[in-house]
Amino acid sequence: MEFDVKSFGWDEAQKSIDNLIKDLSIDMVSLAEELLKKAKEICNDPDCKKIKRVKIGYENKTFVMELTFFDANGIDCMIQAIRERLDSMPQHMQQIFNAEIQNLEERKKQFKNQ
């Protein structure tokens, strides 16, 4: 038994995939920016005395959300902001931000041990 598979439209399919990845990337960055804004509101931190944005974006196709926290309270505000939005996020974003919550919890322990 033999099967022939004809392929056509590869370029169109690849363009669609690239556009989808681009759209997801934009969504991740804008969501992270919204979460940072919400955390600053929760902490009443318009002057970046508790949370400072270093980088939100992509490096080598990997999402990066790099923030500087000046106290454990700032970390708590970021965790709260993420948790408030977590259920409304698509599944793939929930996984990323659940991991971010775990990272933040570890950073908070470091503050408390100082």
The percent of the chain in helix, strand and coil, each rounded to the nearest 5, is 60, 15, 25
Is 3 contained in some domain? no
CA dist., res. 76 & res. 110, Å (int)? 13
Count of structural domains within the chain: 1
Is 42 contained in some domain? yes
> pTM for this structure?
0.77
Is 35 contained in some domain? yes
pLDDT tens sequence for the chain (114 residues): 455 545 556 666 666 655 555 555 558 888 999 999 999 999 998 888 999 999 998 888 788 899 999 999 999 999 999 999 999 988 888 888 999 999 999 999 987 777
Axis crossing angle, helix 91-112 with helix 72-86, rounded to the nearest 10: 160
Is 2 contained in some domain? no
Instruction: Find the domain containing 63 and state its range.
Output: 10-112
